[in-house]
Structure 1
Amino acid sequence: MSGSWTGSGGFGGFDPRSSGGKSGMGIFDMLDQLKEEFEKKVGAATSGTRMNKGDVRAAVLALLAEQPMHGYQIIQQIEERSNGAWKPSAGSVYPTLQLLADEGLIKAEESGGRKTYSLTEAGRAEAEEAGGRAPWESQGMKGGGGSKTALGKAGMELAQAAAQVGRSGSAEQVKQAVDVLEDARRKLYSILAQD
């Protein structure tokens, strides 16, 4: 959607107390526009967390230097350690694991129908050569990028919940939801006002 809201307060001028802002604009259109604005703002704030080519390889080596893991654990650990800023796809992790195995840097052992990967001596040497610095540390994800991504995710989930109340809630439930959103907005601004 294009255009902007008029009004004061709220995110992007969104005022949850209004009945539509623009003439003919319903609450769901407003929530869609809120979502787009939020994605733009959060996306701009977190755009520095894009991972470089080869970071999956470095991440896999760093994790396997700690302990053997299977592919899904590797994906989960990368997401967790980057505070949600980076979740590589299986389509990037599993080919990297195969490449590392082909290079003799890792080995796979199957148990319980699952392959568990661990470093070989050559892999351990390469991981140590990298200085043990994982991509999520060098990209600044521990300090801020990941938390901004988590904020974006929480904001999107809040907008989805508000839309659901708008679609299926009673008039009283919608009024209660507006009160909750107004309170949340005030609390968020009070966080910024803290020293």
Structure 2
Amino acid sequence: MNGSFPTGGFGSGSPFGGFGGSNGAGGPASALFEAMDQVRKAFEPRPGGSTRMARGDVRAAVLSLLAEEPMHGYQIIREIEDRSGGTWKPSAGSVYPTLQLLADEGLVAAEEQNGRKTYSLTEAGRATADEADAPAPWEGNGNRESGRHVVLAKAGMDLAGAAAQVARTGSSAQADQAVEVLEDARRKLYAILAEG
């Protein structure tokens, strides 16, 4: 993680001081909280970073989703976010103009339902979507967080959340046990890399 972990391991000093236990400043619970907060931040999607997708990706994503079922614009945005594991949430300013462009090309038709426009593919749009060889943008190799990376990031954030909970509410003994578990997990992860 670019050297963001404390060099002395999880048990080294921390500015959070005695978080969740009676060890005082620099106790295992405070160091655990700091380290796991850094892990959580390392896995968070970075706005405007590598998760930014190209204009053609929005078009491909819209066609891919509408090939499954008709949707309104907000549904499309939410589905893209869900399927990319939260790493890509296109703005309304990119989705709605794309929908309009696709409608102008005769690939998408809009129908008013309950005060909302619902978009569906026309026959020409379905043919275009069927001809597309590439996987959906959230499945592509160009998306750093796609596939296995999404699963790994979620597991890392879940672990960080559990460790932070121990740091906040656990006793000193529980924090010490958590540090041992995390140190063991770190060693095992590096051992996995060493095998490859």
2:78/2:89 contact within 8 Å kept: yes
Letter of the 1:148 partner, please give it. H
TM-score, reference length from structure 2: 0.63
Q: Distance in 2 between matches of 1:183 and 1:88?
A: 39
Q: TM-score, normalised by structure 1?
A: 0.63
What letter is aligned with 1:120?
T
Pick one of 133, 136, 142 that aligns with 1:134. 136
Q: CA–CA distance in 1 between the matches of 2:68 and 2:134?
A: 10
- Tell me by how many angstroms 1:33 deviates: 4.8
Q: Secondary structure at the match of 1:13?
A: coil
CA contact (8 A) 1:85 1:150 kept: no
Q: Quick one: distance in 1 between partners of 2:6 and 2:152?
A: 16
Unaligned 5+ segments in structure 2 are 16-24
Q: Contact 1:84–1:150 at 8 Å: present in 2 too?
A: no
Aligned amino acid, residue 16 of structure 1 = F
Is the 8 Å Cα contact of residues 37 and 164 (structure 2) preserved in structure 1? Answer: no
Counterpart-to-counterpart distance in 2, 1:31 and 1:151: 15
Give 1:163's aligned amino acid: A
Tell me which of the two structures has the higher relative contact order, counting C-alpha pairs closer than 8 angstroms and 6 or more residues apart: 2
Superposed CA offset, 1:114-165 (max 9, x none): 6542111332344356446533455444xx6413344334324433432332
The 3-state SS of whatever aligns with 2:120 is strand
Alpha-carbon distance change, 130 to 185 in structure 1, aligned in 2, over 3 angstroms: same
Residues 1:137 and 1:158: Cα distance change in structure 2 (over 3 Å):
closer
1:49, distance to aligned residue in structure 2 (A): 5.5
**Quick check: 1:31–1:163 contact (8 Å CA) kept in 2?**
yes
Aligned pairs for 1:1-195 within 5 A: 11=5, 13=7, 15-20=9-14, 27=31, 28-33=33-38, 38=42, 50-79=52-81, 81-82=83-84, 85-111=87-113, 115-128=117-130, 130-131=132-133, 133-141=135-143, 145-146=145-146, 147-194=148-195
Measured in 2, the distance between the counterparts of 1:76 and 1:58 equals 15
- C-alpha change, 1:192 and 1:53, in structure 2 (3 Å) is same
C-alpha displacement at 1:54, in angstroms?
2.9
The alignment of Structure 1 onto Structure 2 pairs a total of residues equal to: 179
The answer (yes or no) to whether the contact 1:85–1:145 under 8 Å persists in 2 is yes
RMSD: 4.0
CA offset digits 1:151-181 (Å, max 9, x no partner): 3343244334323322232212212221221
* Deviation for aligned residue 1:52: 1.0
